[in-house]
Amino acid sequence: MDQMTAGSRRQMHGIWSGRWTFILAATGSAVGLGNIWKFPYIAGENGGGAFVLVYLLCIAVIGVPVMIAEVLLGRRARKSPIYAMSDLAREAKASRLWGLIGWGGALAGFLILTFYSVIAGWALAYIGKMWQGEFVHAAPETVSNIFNTLLADKVALIQWHSVFMLMTVGVVAAGVTKGLGVAVRILMPLLFALLLVLLWYSSQYGDFARGFHFLFNFDFSKLTWNSVLIALGHAFFTLSLGMGAIMAYGAYMPSRADISKTVITVAFLDTLVALVAGMAIFPIVFAASIEPSAGPGLLFVSLPVAFGNMDGGLMFGCVFFVLVSIAAWSSSISLVEPVVAWMVESGRFNRVGAISLVGVGAWIMGLGTVLSFNDWSNFKPFFGMTFFDFLDFLTANIMLPLGGLLIAVFVGWKMARADAHKEIAETSDLQFDIWLLMVRWISPLAVAAVFVFLLWDKLLSGWWQLLLAAILG
Ligand code: PFF
C-alpha cells in the first residue's frame, strides 16, 4: 500500500478519535429504522419465532465475519470503498472486476437512501402528531386511521422526506467525524433507555406472554425459503453490511483498534436493540388486537396506542419519535458516505458539491416511494411489487447479500492471508483460522445456498414438476 497516499487520505476525511468513536459511529449506522421499524414488521409478516432464529443465526454466522472483513478492507486501504476495492484487487493481483463490489455498494446505498428518507419522514411527522396529542386515549382503529391518512397525504410525505434529506445532506456536508460523534454518544443511550421504558410498559399493559411466545417460539412450519432470504437480507441491512458503509467507516478507524472485538460489540448492540424493540411492540400489538402481519405500519400504529394510553405518554411519545428520527439520521449518513467519499477522492467534487448532487438525486427518486403508498399503491409492475417493495427487496434481499458474498470471497480467497492477519493481529491464530473458515466457506456458501434454493423454489421446481409429470404421463 502506498503510504503517502494512505496518509493523505487519512487527512482528507478525518479519523475517528478512538475505538469507541468507531463503535458509536458503526452502531449509529447499524441501529436505525431496520431495528425499530423493519425488524418487528418483517418478523410479524414471516410468522415470528423461526424467522427470528434464522435472523439471529445469520447475524452470528454470516454478519459478524463479513463485518470483520469489511472493516479490515476499509482500514487496510484507507480509502472509499470504490477506490479501496480497486487498490486491494491490484495489491492481491486479482482481477479489476473486484472493484465492482465498491460500485455495487455505492449504488445500493443510494437506492436505500431514496426510501429510507421517506420512512424516516413518517417518524418526523409523528413527533408533531404526538406533541399535538392526536393519540391521547386513541383506540387502535383511530391510530390506524391517522396513519392511513398520513400515507394518503402526498404533500405531507414529500415535505417530511425533504426535511429528512436536508438533515442528511447537512451532516454529510459538515463531515462525518464532526458533530455526529457527539450526537450519537448522547442520543443512542437515550434511545435505548426509552425502549426499555416501552418494554416496561408493554410488560405491564400488553400481552407480554403472547408477544414473547410469538418472537421466540420456533415454529418451523411457518418458514419458507422466501422468509429465510428475508432474514438473511435483513441481517445485512441491519448491520449495514454488503454495501461498503462499514468499509468506509473502517477507513477512518485508528490503526491499533481491535477489529473483531469492536465488530462483536456493534453486532451485539444492534441485535439487542432489535429484540428489545420487538418485545416492546408485540405485546402491545396483541393486546390491542392489531394483526402482527400488518406490514410497514406496525410500529406507527402499535406504539402510539401505547403512548396514547400511558401516563406521560405525550412526552415519552414525542421523545421516542425524536430518537427514532435520530437513529435513522445516523444511519442515513452512512448510506451515502461511500459514494460521497469516492466523489471527493476523485478530485472532481468537494464534499458539499458531492452530497448536494447525491441528495437531489435520491430526493427525486424517493418520490417513487412516496407514491407507492398512495397514487401508485396498486401499480405493481415489478414482479407484483410496488416501487417501494421492489426497491426494498432488490437492495436488502439481493444487492446486500450478494455484496457480502463477494466481500467474503475476496477476503477469504483473493487477499493474501498474511495481509488479512496483519489487520486483525490481535486475534489468536485459532480465532483467525475460525474466522477465515467462515469467510471462505460458511458465509459465501450460506448466501449462495439461500439464493439457489429460492430460485429453485420460485422458478425451477415448477418446471421440474411439469417435466416429471410429462415423463410419467
Ligand atoms: N442499518 C440500517 C438500519 O438498520 O436501519 C440501515 C442501513 C444503513 C443499511 C446503512 C445499510 C447501510 F449502509
Which mutation among 31, 41, 112 tests ligand 1's pocket best, with the greatest number of atoms within 8 A of CB? 112
Which mutation among 41, 110, 237, 333 tests ligand 1's pocket best, with the greatest number of atoms within 8 A of CB? 237
Ligand 1, CB cutoff 6 Å, lining residues: 29-30, 32-35, 109, 112, 237-238, 240, 243, 245, 331, 334-335
Number of domain units in the chain = 1
Residue nearest to atom 7 of ligand 1 (CA): 240
- What pairs with residue 385 in β-bridges? 382
Q: Does 290 score more than 60 pLDDT?
A: yes
Q: List C-alpha distances in Å: 432 to 60, 75, 89, 438.
A: 16, 17, 21, 10
What are 167's three cell numbers? Answer: 438533515
Q: Does 195 score more than 60 pLDDT?
A: yes
Quote the pLDDT of residue 57. Answer: 97
Digit-coded pLDDT (tens) for 387-401: 999 999 999 999 999
Q: Does 371 score more than 80 pLDDT?
A: yes
What are 216's three cell numbers? Answer: 421466540
Q: Is residue 388 one of the residues assigned to a domain?
A: yes
Q: Is residue 42 one of the residues assigned to a domain?
A: yes
- Between the CA of 330 and the centroid of ligand 1 the distance, in Å, is 9
Reported pTM: 0.93
Q: Does 200 score more than 80 pLDDT?
A: yes
Quote the pLDDT of residue 355. Answer: 95
Query: Residue 168: which pLDDT band, with cuts at 50, 70 and 90?
Result: very high
- What value does the mean pLDDT take over residues 243-257? 92
Quote the pLDDT of residue 14. Answer: 67
Q: What is the CATH number of the domain that holds 402?
A: 1.20.1740.10
Cβ-contact 176, 344 below 8 angstroms: no
- What value does the mean pLDDT take over residues 18-42? 91
Radius of gyration of the chain (CA): 22
Q: Is residue 10 one of the residues assigned to a domain?
A: no
Q: Is residue 392 one of the residues assigned to a domain?
A: yes
Out of 98-107, 274-283, 403-412, 458-467, pick the least confident: 458-467
Ligand 1 atom nearest residue 400's Cα: 11
Contacts of 336 (CB under 8 A, 6+ apart): 109, 110, 113, 168, 172, 355, 358, 359, 362
Average confidence score pLDDT of the chain: 91
Query: Residue 176: which pLDDT band, with cuts at 50, 70 and 90?
Result: low
Query: Residue 425: which pLDDT band, with cuts at 50, 70 and 90?
Result: confident
Quote the pLDDT of residue 211. Answer: 96
Q: Is residue 90 one of the residues assigned to a domain?
A: yes
Q: Is residue 385 one of the residues assigned to a domain?
A: yes
Quote the pLDDT of residue 10. Answer: 52
Q: State percent of the chain over pLDDT 90.
A: 75
Structural domain including 452 reads 21-471
Digit-coded pLDDT (tens) for 235-244: 999 999 999 9
- Between the CA of 28 and the centroid of ligand 1 the distance, in Å, is 9
Higher pLDDT, 126 or 188: 126
Query: Residue 456: which pLDDT band, with cuts at 50, 70 and 90?
Result: confident
- Between the CA of 428 and the centroid of ligand 1 the distance, in Å, is 30
Q: Does 180 score more than 90 pLDDT?
A: no
Q: Does 363 score more than 90 pLDDT?
A: yes
Q: Is residue 288 one of the residues assigned to a domain?
A: yes
Q: Is residue 4 one of the residues assigned to a domain?
A: no
